[in-house]
Amino acid sequence: MNAARPLSPALERLADALTYLRKAPAPLITARVLLDALSTQHLGKWGLIKATTPRRKATYMLVGTALRRDWPVGGWAFRKLIIRLTRHIQPKGRAYDDDNLARALKPYRDGVAEALAIDDGSERLTFVVDQVRDGQRGVTVELWVRP
């Protein structure tokens, strides 16, 4: 019988983040972006830029404001963070499958990373994406410091 192949470092971080979120306290930062996440698979280059730029900038401003308000300057420097991005769906709205959800939430991910002044591909950041049908609109950004 073959032994299970070990997980990659990225999958290990995601598994650890999900385990932590099951019993995590309230997030340190919560920001609500009232711009709906869009599926961008049908957009060309300029349509993609036009659709994603306002979402990235709004996320950057809201998360940046929350960081300045709730954390001392640079309090997140050199710390590992978990960021959960939750897309809110209207009752009759269409839920995205996992790859479209990740793509639709990419501008929000970029905005968070820009507000933190950390590359969004950094090993210090673990992003978890989710969607919930609750009749609200927009995207919620929640941030935790990993122990």
pLDDT, averaged in runs of 10, over the chain (147 residues): 75 85 82 66 57 74 77 70 88 81 86 87 90 86 84
CB 142 within 8 A of CB 93: no
CB 100 within 8 A of CB 41: yes
Place of tokens 């710390």: 79
- Whether the predicted model's global pTM rises above the 0.85 cut: no
Cα(28)–Cα(145) distance, integer angstroms:
8
pLDDT in the model for residue 13: 84
